[in-house]
Structure 1
Amino acid sequence: MKKILIVSHALELGGAERSLIGLLDAIDKKEYKVDLFLLRHEGELLSFIPEGVNLLPEIPAYTVLARPMIQTLKEGHVILTAARMYGKIKADKYVKKCGHTDSGVPLEYSHKYTYRFMPEIQSDEEYDLAISFLTPHYIVTNKVHAKKKIAWIHTDYSKVQINEKSELEMWSAYDQIISISDDVTKTFQKIFPTLSMKIIKIENIIPEKLIISQSKEFIPVEEMPDDSIKILSIGRYCTAKNFDNVPNICKHLVKQGMNVRWYLIGFGPDENLIKEKIKEEHMEKNVIMLGKKSNPYPYICRCDLYVQPSRYEGKCVSVKEAQMLRKPVVITNYATANSQVENGVDGIIVTMDNEKCAVEIARILKDEEKMKRMSQKCTEKNYSNVTEVKKIYSMCTC
């Protein structure tokens, strides 16, 4: 039996985390022994780890990476906290020098300068394949014994601010690099052309049976009443998802005479900003923040239209989940949009300009036949990508 180790951060609500559940679910546990190591045993998706996957015990040292430093210092993690502080100082200096406004360097450096003080993961075990599922990718490189090591890209690298030299060293340590789409590959290759030969595309695997089963869970009608058109968006409350522009887009829809409510499911650092924008645009009755939902699927089933208004994406899992549940989908024209929907067939790509975006959404909502056709097309396609797991199997035999 081949042995696979997958390392990730936690299982909080997020597209990458849900695709990890899909991957874990797809692997044949009769043929492969699957260990999962999480830096923190946290998150609403912990209970959805499939049967047959062995969740390794939490190692306290690894939890230091994502908790307040004053707390980790009080717990006695003196060296690790000091290393993390050093990484923070170095990152702040680099970010200031480069003029970054939304930098990924602090996260990368938090791992880069601490991993050497961490214990090994399963030091007495050699795996056939070790997978680092979320960046930064220093832990699997340095703290795992495996015949082959691979790392995953989940984001559009044309939109992230990084230390290219530092990340090149990090990625170069892997035997292969997994990209979730052709567009993600292209943006990654522009920055790291020397790594092109290492890249393999593996689409996000979505656990279809679980999603359909969960979608039947009851939710009170009052949460999404039928007295208006129901638009839904799901994702982290962060810059990438662009939810801070939803109140303005919604205001333009209302001005066009559309009786709409736009629901937002998620959590994150932009929560207060979105609330401020709702108040600023006087959209308190029209834009409703539902917050965290460990099971968003009944809400997808109740909406009339799913909209992903993102500034950028790697490949949005929520879009595929909405299509899997046969919902008409609208996404903005972010760089990787064409890898998400077949424009005009199983979804619509619209401009990111707020006013024009509202005009295009209104046009779609008024075209009942088009909405039905998109929904029908979704029933004809398989969005689970479950056969992609065969590419993982082939890596175990190389």
Structure 2
Amino acid sequence: MGIYEELQARGLIAQVTDEEEIRELINNGKATFYIGFDPTADSLHVGHFMALCLMKRLQMAGNKPIALIGGGTGYIGDPSGRTDMRSMMTPEQIQHNCDCFKKQMSKFIDFSDGKALMVNNADWLLDLNYIELLREVGPHFSVNRMLTAECYKQRMEKGLSFLEFNYMIMQSYDFYMLYQKYGCNMQFGGDDQWSNMLGGTELIRRKLGKNACAMTITLLLNSEGKKMGKTQSGAVWLDPEKTSPFDFYQYWRNVADADVLKCIRMLTFLPLEEIDAMDKWEGSQLNKAKEILAFELTKLVHGEEEAVKAQEAARALFSSGNAENMPKAELEDTDFQDGQIDIISILVKSGLVPTRSEGRRAVEQGGVSVNGEKVTDFRVLYKKEDFAEDFVLKRGKKNFRKVIVK
């Protein structure tokens, strides 16, 4: 089985433009491909996970990845799937986020000895002359056709700014520049990017002629990755300072029964034969599958040592209440008034709820416990000495903190 066939078997490919050429390039390690990442935060999250795993798989098969950081497009923002306009970031914010991305991507992709590239589209987009861009790129885009793109249609009722309307042109120009500068012959992305990606493919073919056609290939990833990045309490980040290895493990440990094997197939590097054997698993065996998924992905992001700690902490929590390796939340003296602190303040301080009103609602709905005992009164107070022993705060089924006083 070639790598293209493996991607199909893992359910990663949803749509392609030139299947035979794609198969030939990928299976023979001849693809130089890119995936773009807009630096909208200072950490990647699990919504990026599928793209990172795909880049790793293709590099292992001899292909060359280009991680394109959207330092230029980050000045505008992508309207795809959004109902509001993305807030503007300062150049300093964008550069900081780009630097953070580089560090995290290096855990997945080998950038040594030219095996992969990391480039920033700010290098060419920020120096563009507006009139020159209109002359060079503008004639190749039909406004009527652009307005039929799904990413724009979703915004038409509430208003699509001219700023955002330019995003397709900028992304298409990215592919054109990557083709010219680095021989990039393939692009990957989610289905919300399909119109933008086709724009880049067509731009290259129109500007460079038929001889470039075989080398300008678009491949579309299945959209499952877009469903992964959010939980009730916010994003699940790859940065351990934002989402602890334990919380990261718990996120995957608690995926729905219907999704666990799909996630194992798409995201782990376990052999397909081993995964196929799990297809018949049901009942309690699915819990075992969830542990496998959580361990493999935590190991991939945070290393085997942290994965072992997270797994042991999760097992101990459900068996004996041991909180040794559980993520911790710290209280300071200033958090106490007259030597006491209320449960809602602890919930907010620990990060288990974003606001006091949500903390009160969680208590009233019976979703909060301390050391296994449900909290029924949102006005309950705790003294400093209550934290001398293990103080395990739980919200819902997935979120835990060991609360300590500095």
TM-score (norm 2): 0.35
Larger radius of gyration: 2
